Amino acid sequence: MSLSIPDLVSVRARHPEAVAEAAARRARRPLLGDRGRLMIVAADHPARGALGVGGRRLAMANRADLLERLCIALSRPGVDGVLATADILEDLLLLGVLENKVVMGSMNRGGLAGARFEMDDRFTGHRAEDIARLRFDAGKLLLRIDYEDPGSLTTLESTARAIDDMAAHRLPLFVEPFLSRRIGGKVTNDLSAEAVTKSIAIASGLGGTSAHTWLKLPVTENPDDMAEVMETSTLPAVLLGGEVGDDQDGAYEKWRKALRLPTVLGMVVGRSLLYPAVGSVETAVDTAVGLL
């Protein structure tokens, strides 16, 4: 990193306008490069209070360490960009590591991990106007739907309006849908083929236009179901990496198979690359890039 943490703090305290200035001069690139594939590193977890990785409950709490890991990941060949909340993206802007990278703003982080209101995932992050003003390249939102929770209807409506707002700015929006429910008080995402199929169908139809909508999808619990599941929509999709635990090789093989499907154009992976169970950030990122 070209700036130290004290330098970042000093710039933020004395020259807050530096963020907008860095955003204004940042060199941009098309969403999809010549290879037509997309590899994005995700780091929007801390804003939901989801700081744990494996057995380390506060692994992502050290901002200097997280920024260093992100800088390493963004420096690796084949990494197209980053998904994060405003605080992290603005640190990366000030560090100068977002030149010619896809910058994706995270839009709804109100459903804090483990909270009673976790399913009420309000739009407390980037707005469409913020993403446009900062010259970022795309947005992302999480859409968890619980058939037993009437509040999910509000989430659906808010998501539809966010899709409309992003489309008005002609900006891509990556929608990450799940059918979810509480089991023993914990929100659990249903990764069965039927549930993922329904979530795709619901998300694809939201808003006044789907012209700028992408899907961000998990691999189903049975990876062999993915081919049929992905026939549900013609929207372009990327795979959600998620936390893979100790079986990194097994996760990579699931991703490899799904990446062969015609609507799957890339991956958005976070903790499993930034905090790999085995090996370095460089090795984990390079392996994931190799799957594309």
Phi, psi of 70, deg, nearest 5 = -65, -40
Instruction: Find the domain containing 187 and state its range.
Output: 5-291
Of 3-7, 74-78, 88-92, the least confident: 3-7
CATH number for 137: 3.20.20.70
What is the pTM assigned to this prediction?
A: 0.95
Instruction: Count structural domains, the chain.
Output: 1
Q: What are 19-36's pLDDT values in tens digits?
A: 999 999 999 999 998 889
Pairwise CA distance, residues 1 & 103, whole Å: 18
φ/ψ of 165, rounded to 5, equals: -65, -45
Cα–Cα distance measured from residue 67 to residue 33, given in angstroms and rounded to the nearest whole number: 25
Would you state the pLDDT for residue 4? 87
pLDDT digits (tens, 9 = 90+) for 146-167: 999 999 999 999 999 999 999 9
CB 263 within 8 A of CB 233: yes
Would you tell me how many other CB atoms lie within 10 Å of the CB of residue 69? 22
Q: What's the mean per-residue pLDDT of the chain?
A: 94
